[in-house]
Structures are given as structure tokens and as C-alpha cells.
Amino acid sequence: MAPSRATARQQPPLSDERERQKRAAARAAAELVKDGMRLGLGTGTTVAHLLPAIAERGLEGLRCAATSPATEAAARALGLAVEPLDELGELDLAIDGADEIAPSGWLIKGGGGAHTREKIVAASARAFVVIASAEKAVYELTPPVPLELIAFGVKRTLASVGEARLREAPPTPDGGLLADYLEQVGDPAELSAHLESLPGVIEHGLFAPQMVSLVLIADEHGVRRTRGAKRNGGGLD
């Protein structure tokens, strides 16, 4: 049954509720950041709420690595210190959003085209925290799966991938072309291995559970915490 006009007026628009959830997840993650940390900053709409939540804490000695020029510019504008990843070395913590989160712990990331750098930063961190609003939690992963491809021979690469198409987007900061894999995901581990085996595929947007330390998903009831498979420190236990 459709809600009455009076009931509908009392409910916040769906977009407003999603932004509220993103902000709640981001603030919960910001509380995990400590003085002196080397922190990896993701890219996307949920991270847009994370950056001010971190900045307003006034942490001392915090050093950050950004996964995209947009994140770097936004972080610097808020007074956060951003340095190249190679200068920071191993990170204490990385925080990023996700496009889809499956019960198995597999993620799809890269709707914003930064998945290659996001995966490098996540792999460089002792702990990786994923933040999301409730609709990002799904029963199973569905296409598209973002890809970054080498420009040379890209038509041949696409043919070997399967059903995929290039995005109408500029090259990545590292010179790659963005595309999307459009077939069913099926077993994420099998698809991940298949994509990694193809020459010309720089990186794909499937993130394995072993990369993730903690998932923070906000819904109308609050922020739900789910442990990931990564157990190698970071001060989250």
C-alpha cells in the first residue's frame, strides 16, 4: 500500500536518508583515527563525509595518502597533510567506501574510477575499514565491475574480457582507460582470477575479503560493525 500524503511528508527523501547514513558511517570511522597515524584516504561520496569528520578532530601528526586528485585536493583544503604513498610507506589505517558489499565479504569498488589506487592503498595498510550506507549491502555482487585497462590494444583486451565497454571518461591519473565488465559476477574469486590473468587489464574492482579489517554500515538504526578477514593489526581489535 502506498503511503498517504501526510505520511509521505513525514518521511525524509531517500537521498537525504542515504546522506545521513553515509555521514554516520564516516563519523564512526573517523573515531578510529589516532594522533600520528599514517592514513589512507579513499575516494567517493561517503569519503566526502569522512574528510571533514577527521579534520574537525584536530589530530596531531596525522599524515595521509590520497587515492585520487579529488580526495587530495579536498583533504588539503581541510588542512589535512597529504603526502605521496611511497614517502609514508606502510599505512596504519585506510578508510574507503564501496559500491557493493556481499555477505561473503567481497566488495565491488571503482564506480568513481579510482579502484587501482584504492586497492594499492588498502593493501598498503595494516587495517582497512570500509564505510557505507545500508543500500550498499547486497545479497550477491552484480555488474558492472569496474576495470582499468592499458590503452595499447584496448579493443583486443576488451574482446578477451567478455562483455565489457569503455566508459566515456578521461584517462585515469596514471594513464589507464576505464571500462566496465557487464556479465554476471558469479563466483567473485573465479572472476577475479580470470580478470587478473588477462594482459592489458591493469586492475579490476573486486576486493577480496582478506583485504578488509572492518565494515561499518549505517542504517536507520545506527552503525553496524562487521569484522573482515584481515587480522593483522591496526588497533581495531
CA atoms within 13 A on the CB side of 119: 19
Alpha-carbon distance 106 to 69, whole Å? 26
Alpha-carbon distance 120 to 106, whole Å? 16
| Adjacent-strand bridge partners of 224 | 217
User: Active site includes 83?
Assistant: no
Sign of CA dihedral 45, 15, 132, 51: positive
Q: What is the pLDDT of residue 6?
A: 37
Give the model confidence (pLDDT) of 150-192 as tens digits.
999 999 999 999 999 999 999 999 999 999 999 999 999 999 9
Alpha-carbon distance 108 to 47, whole Å? 16
Q: Is 12's pLDDT higher than 60?
A: no
Q: Give kind and range of the element (H or E) at residue 28.
A: helix 14-30
Lowest mean pLDDT among 38-47, 49-58, 122-131, 227-236: 227-236
pLDDT tier for residue 230 given thresholds of 50, 70 and 90: confident
Catalytically annotated residue among 19, 31, 87, 118: 118
Give the model confidence (pLDDT) of 113-144 as tens digits.
999 999 999 999 999 999 999 999 999 999 99
Q: What is the pLDDT of residue 232?
A: 60
Instruction: Please provide the DSSP assignment of 172-219 as one string.
Output: PTTSPEEEEE-S---SHHHHHHHHHTSTTEEEESEE-GGG-SEEEEEE
Architecture of domain 14-219: 3-Layer(aba) Sandwich (3.40)
- Would you say the pTM of this structure is higher than 0.85? yes
Query: Closest Cα partner for 145 from 217, 96, 196?
Result: 196
